[in-house]
C-alpha cells in the first residue's frame, strides 16, 4: 500500500523567528495526538533547513525537505544549493519541478531529471511535481500533457530509482488560486497516472507509489480530496503557513 503523506510547501514566506514559531506550534499541537502513520514533510526555505531539522529531529513521522536543489553536483554555480549540502543538513526530501520553478525559472524536464537523479544519489527523496496549465485543460489535453511530463522524467528511471520517488499532481491553474480541481478531475488524473506507471513499472510498483494532489487544498476540502481512490495525500502551500490549519489538513487523511 502507498505511504500516506502530507507535504507543507512554505514557499518564500516567513523569517527566522516566524519559521521557528510555526514549527514549534505545529510540533506542540502534534504532540497532543497520535497519527504517526501519516508522513508530514515540512519543505522550508534554504536558510531555515538546519534549524527546523533540529527542531523536528526525534518527532516520529515529521521530516524536513527543501523546495529545490541544483542540477549540478558542485562548483562555480553562484547562489545554487547542492544535494550534498542538503544531505549534510540531514534533509531527506526535496521538491523538484514545482510549477513556479518551471514557469518563473524556466526549468525544463531534462534539468528536472538531473535533479531527481542527483537527489537519489544522496538518498534524498524527490517529491516530483507536475501538472497542466489551464489552456491545456480547456483543450482537454491534460492527460496527454501530464503523460509527456512523466515520460520525459520519472519514467526514465529504473524500477529501483522510481520506487523512491513521491509524485505530486498539481494542476497549475489550481495552485494558489483558491480554485481546487473537481473531485472528478482529480480522480481521473490519478487513475491515468497509475495506469501509465503500471505499463512502465508493473502493477505492484504502480499501486505502492505515493501520488499526492496539490492545488488550493485547505481544511474544508482536504477530507473529500484525500478520500478519493488513488490519492495518497497532499502538497499544501498557503494553508501550511498556519500550524492549526495544517494539522487539520493532516488529520483529514483519517
Ligand atoms: C503548492 O505550493 O504547490 C500549492 C499547491 O499551493 P497552494 O496550496 O497554496 O495552492
pLDDT 10s digits, 15-42 = 999 999 999 999 999 999 877 899 999 9
Assigned C-alpha cell, 156 = 526514465
Q: Which of 6, 101, 236 to mutate to test the pocket of ligand 1 (most atoms within 8 A of CB)?
A: 236
User: Which single residue is written with the C-alpha cell 512502465?
Assistant: 200
Residue with cell 507543507: 8
Provide the grid cell at 247. Answer: 494539522
Name the pLDDT band for 254 (thresholds 50, 70, 90): confident
* Residue 157, all three cell numbers: 528511471
- Reported as a single tens digit per residue, the pLDDT across 146-178 is 999 999 999 999 999 999 999 999 999 999 888
Cell of 42: 515540512
3-state SS class at 74: coil
Half-sphere exposure for 105 (CA within 13 Å, toward CB): 14
The owner of cell 498557503 is: 238
Give the per-residue pLDDT at 181.
86
d(CA 166, CA 154): 10
Provide the pLDDT for residue 34: 74
The pLDDT score that the predictor gives to residue 31 is 94
- Ligand 1 within 6 A of 180 CB? no
pLDDT at 177: 83
Q: Which atom of ligand 1 lies at the shortest distance from residue 174's CA?
A: 10
Average pLDDT, integer, range 65-84: 98
Spatial CA neighbour of 201 closest among 148, 127, 150: 150
> Residue 236: which pLDDT band, with cuts at 50, 70 and 90?
very high
> 186 falls in which pLDDT band (50, 70, 90)?
very high
Query: What contacts 24, CB < 8 A, 6 or more positions away?
Result: 55
Determine the average pLDDT of the residues in 116-140.
97
User: Over the chain, what is the mean pLDDT?
Assistant: 96
pLDDT of residue 154: 98
DSSP E strand stretches across the chain: 4-9, 38-43, 62-66, 93-96, 125-130, 166-169, 211-214, 233-236
Q: pTM to 2 decimals?
A: 0.97
- pLDDT (0 to 100) of residue 35: 79
Grid cell 544535494 is found at 83
Judge whether 172 and 103 are in contact, CB under 8 Å. yes
pLDDT at 66: 98
Tell me the average pLDDT across 44-69. Answer: 97
Give the whole-number percent of the chain exceeding pLDDT 70: 100
- What separation in Å is there between the alpha carbon of 109 and the centre of ligand 1? 20
**Residue bearing the CA closest to ligand 1, atom 2:** 237
Q: Is 221 in the pocket of ligand 1 (CB under 6 A)?
A: no
Rounded to whole angstroms, how far apart are CA atoms 145 and 131?
8
Rounded average pLDDT over 46-62: 97
Span 46-53, average pLDDT: 98
DSSP string, 91-140: --EEEE--HHHHHHS---HHHHHHHHHHHHHTTPEEEEEE---HHHHHTT
Amino acid at each position: 500500500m502507498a505511504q500516506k503523506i502530507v507535504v507543507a510547501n512554505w514557499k518564500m514566506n516567513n523569517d527566522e523567528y516566524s519559521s521557528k514559531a510555526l514549527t514549534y506550534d505545529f510540533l506542540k499541537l502534534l504532540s497532543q495526538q497520535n497519527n504517526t502513520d501519516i508522513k508530514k514533510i515540512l519543505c522550508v526555505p534554504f536558510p531555515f533547513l538546519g534549524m527546523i531539522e533540529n527542531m523536528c529531529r526525534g518527532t516520529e513521522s515529521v521530516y524536513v525537505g527543501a523546495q529545490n536543489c541544483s542540477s549540478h553536483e558542485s562548483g562555480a554555480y553562484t547562489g545554487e544549493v547542492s544535494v550534498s549540502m542538503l544531505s549534510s543538513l540531514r534533509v531527506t526530501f526535496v521538491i523538484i519541478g514545482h510549477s513556479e520553478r518551471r514557469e518563473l525559472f524556466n526549468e525544463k524536464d531534462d534539468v528536472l531529471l538531473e535533479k531527481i537523479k542527483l537527489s537519489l544519489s544522496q538518498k534524498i527523496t524527490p517529491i516530483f511535481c507536475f501538472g497542466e496549465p489551464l489552456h491545456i485543460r480547456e483543450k482537454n489535453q491534460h492527460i496527454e500533457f501530464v503523460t509527456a511530463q512523466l515520460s520525459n522524467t520519472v519514467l526514465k528511471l529504473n524500477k529501483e530509482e522510481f520506487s523512491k520517488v513521491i509524485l505530486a499532481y498539481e494542476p497549475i491553474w489550481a495552485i494558489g488560486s483558491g480554485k481546487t480541481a473537481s473531485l472528478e478531475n482529480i480522480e481521473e488524473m490519478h487513475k491515468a497516472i497509475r495506469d501509465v506507471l503500471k505499463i512502465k513499472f508493473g502493477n505492484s510498483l504502480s499501486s505502492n507509489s505515493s501520488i499526492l494532489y496539490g492545488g488550493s487544498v485547505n481544511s474544508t476540502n482536504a477530507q473529500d480530496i484525500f478520500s478519493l481512490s488513488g490519492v495518497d495525500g497532499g502538497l499544501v502551500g498557503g494553508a501550511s503557513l498556519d500550524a492549526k490549519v495544517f494539522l487539520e489538513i493532516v488529520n483529514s487523511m483519517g
